[in-house]
Amino acid sequence: MTDVFQLQYALDTFYFLMCGALVMWMAAGFAMLEAGLVRSKNTTEILTKNIALFAVACTMYMVCGYAIMYGGDIFLSSITGDGATGAEEPATYAPSADFYFQVVFVATAMSIVSGSVAERMKLWAFLAFAVVMTGFIYPMEGAWTWGGASVFGMYTLGDLGFSDFAGSGIVHMAGASAALAGVLLLGARKGKYGPNGQVNAIPGANLPMATLGTFILWLGWFGFNGGSVLATASVESANAVAVVFMNTNAAASGGLIGALLVARLLFGKADLTMALNGALAGLVAITAEPSTPTVLQATLFGAAGGVLVVFSILTLDKLKLDDPVGAISVHGVVGLLGLLLVPITNEGSSFSGQLIGVATIFVWVFGASFIVWGILKATMGIRVSEEEEFSGVDIAECGMEAYPEFVSAKS
Amino acid sequence: MKLVTAIVKPFKLDEVREALGDLGVAGVTVTEVKGFGRQKGHTELYRGAEYVVDFLPKVKLEIALADEMVESAVEAITAAAQTGKIGDGKIFITTLEEVIRIRTGETGVEAV
């Protein structure tokens, strides 16, 4: 093994791990965003869900998720070897670094679900779903896409021209599909929709927190997309990484500006929460292919996502699909847009391949999730009681409030 | 003795406090309150949906005064808190039966 290869191996592994750490940090971003957009009486519970789902995702993906997605045995017993010498096709990074990078993506997909079902779903039903989602549902569609396996022996998405660079569909739309199934079975928050089709606002408690969460997600996304280049220790891969960083940032900016302007035109005011969703929509839109667009195209793709997300949020409300943080619109609707934009700049993908990929991911994740949510609803129940919802799930589920000083003078 | 209760716009609190201080008023109790009057509430917007805020934030000042101070205090509060626009607030005057200073046990005007 040459010294140069050793150096490349060390650098690629290090880069991979640091990008994984950035993606891990996105869990903090989701936690802050969601805590900011729910009411203060539901803060402790949403924080508990966010950090617990991360631990559940890491554990389930270790137990069986990685094996289902990429082959090998449960409990990662097959990836203890040396990537440079142990694998059939020598990798330039350590096998356990690959697991680490993959596992934080699973957690991201699951984080998307928690926001949509916030303020009314039972904590333990949610965590039970997280076990199945991160241990089975996500790894199955991950195997058909990044894993290269055929879909129940019928067809192979890669051969059909399906391409999803960092997971607009595999991670984001998948998370949103599971969220949509949950929201359909769960129903809207009390008081969200009036009798004559009116949509009532339920303002979030802490917009500084929501903004911080969005900044954290934006930062973490450089690991999400940048790390998906999978290497950095050659001129070619280093250039690719730099382009991906540049385009990811451009798309987020485009998305924010698009959403901010649309919100101003539609509502007459600069709606911050829509702008935040716009930045995330820009990021989701570019995630399917951040390496081939020009930086101008990336900005425009992001802006398209930002514009689309505002209309999507308003449309979901008209359909009485209550999504407190807009996750189904940001990750699902714009994830779909991101996949369909890929063939414009990536000649290796085809429009039909993208559509088949979208259908495969959606039908599988939505269908499997609907069944799991349905079983949970029939057995343990997925929704808290009306009284618990009124007094807040913090007290009902966690027995503590996020800001106790405001109500208790005893110290 | 009288208890003067004034509800004013929050941003006028400092001016009212200064005006009362210039008069030699010895103490004021301030509370952040919410309510509605003729101004009613106002509408706000969140993610494209309008909602009505029924109760607007105001500041309530409670001032115990000797009878001869009441007129000038009311004038000072009115002058300082007035913007001429709807929602400037109100002043209520009630008779105060007794005042006791806890530290010394003094009562009546001495305690104000």
Residue of chain B whose alpha carbon sits nearest to that of A271: B47
Confidence grade of residue B38 (pLDDT, cut at 50, 70, 90): confident
Min Cα separation B69/chain A (Å): 36
- The model's pLDDT over A122-145, given as tens digits with 9 standing for 90+, comes to 999 999 999 999 999 999 999 999
Q: In sequence order, what are the beta bridge partners of B30?
A: B61
Which residue in the set B44, B45, B51 is minimally distant from A200, CB to CB? B51
What is the pLDDT of chain B when averaged over all its residues?
Answer: 93
The answer to whether the Cβ–Cβ distance between A267 and B45 falls below 8 Å is yes
The answer to whether the Cβ–Cβ distance between B48 and A273 falls below 8 Å is no
How far from the centroid of its chain's Cα atoms is residue A179's Cα? 11
Residue of chain A whose alpha carbon sits nearest to that of B44: A201
Whether B40 has a pLDDT exceeding 90, the answer reads no
pLDDT for the residue A73 = 85
The answer to whether the Cβ–Cβ distance between A317 and B49 falls below 8 Å is yes
Report in angstroms the alpha-carbon separations of A330 from A1, A91, A318, B32. 46, 34, 17, 39
pLDDT for the residue A72 = 83
- Chain A hits for B48, CB-CB cut-off 8 Å, are 199, 263, 266-267, 271, 274, 310, 313-314, 317
How far from the centroid of its chain's Cα atoms is residue A117's Cα? 14
Whether A411 has a pLDDT exceeding 60, the answer reads no
- The model's pLDDT over A265-290, given as tens digits with 9 standing for 90+, comes to 999 999 999 999 999 999 999 999 99
Residue of chain B whose alpha carbon sits nearest to that of A262: B48
Confidence grade of residue A408 (pLDDT, cut at 50, 70, 90): low
What is the pLDDT of chain A when averaged over all its residues?
Answer: 94
pLDDT for the residue B48 = 85
Whether A18 has a pLDDT exceeding 80, the answer reads yes
- The model's pLDDT over A74-102, given as tens digits with 9 standing for 90+, comes to 888 877 667 766 555 667 889 899 999 99
pLDDT for the residue B53 = 85
Which residue in the set A201, A204, A326 is minimally distant from B49, CB to CB? A201
The answer to whether the Cβ–Cβ distance between B50 and A273 falls below 8 Å is no
State the ipTM, two decimals: 0.72
Please give the single-letter amino acid code of residue A326.
Answer: G
Min Cα separation A215/chain B (Å): 19
- Chain A hits for B45, CB-CB cut-off 8 Å, are 201, 267-269, 271
pLDDT for the residue A80 = 65
Assess A203–B contact: CB distance below 8 Å, yes or no.
yes
- The model's pLDDT over A213-261, given as tens digits with 9 standing for 90+, comes to 999 999 999 999 999 999 999 999 999 999 999 999 999 999 999 999 9
Rounded CA separation A263/A283 (Å): 18
pLDDT for the residue A71 = 86
The DSSP annotation for A250-308 comes to: HHHHHHHHHHHHHHHHHHSS--HHHHHHHHHHHHHHHHT-SSSS-HHHHHHHHHHHHHH
SS3 B90: strand
What are A47's two structure tokens? 């924080």
**CB neighbour list of residue A180: distance below 8 Å, 6 or more residues apart:** A116, A321, A328, A332, A366
Q: Is the pTM of this model over 0.80?
A: yes
Whether A180 has a pLDDT exceeding 90, the answer reads yes
- The model's pLDDT over A344-383, given as tens digits with 9 standing for 90+, comes to 999 999 999 999 999 999 999 999 999 999 999 999 999 9
Burial of B66 (0-12, 13-18, 19+ CB in 10 A): middle
- Chain B hits for A203, CB-CB cut-off 8 Å, are 44, 46, 51
Residues belonging to chain B with any Cβ–Cβ distance to chain A shorter than 8 Å: 44-51
The answer to whether the Cβ–Cβ distance between B47 and A273 falls below 8 Å is yes
Q: What is the mean pLDDT of residues B60-87?
A: 95
pLDDT for the residue A365 = 98
**CB neighbour list of residue A364: distance below 8 Å, 6 or more residues apart:** A137, A140, A141
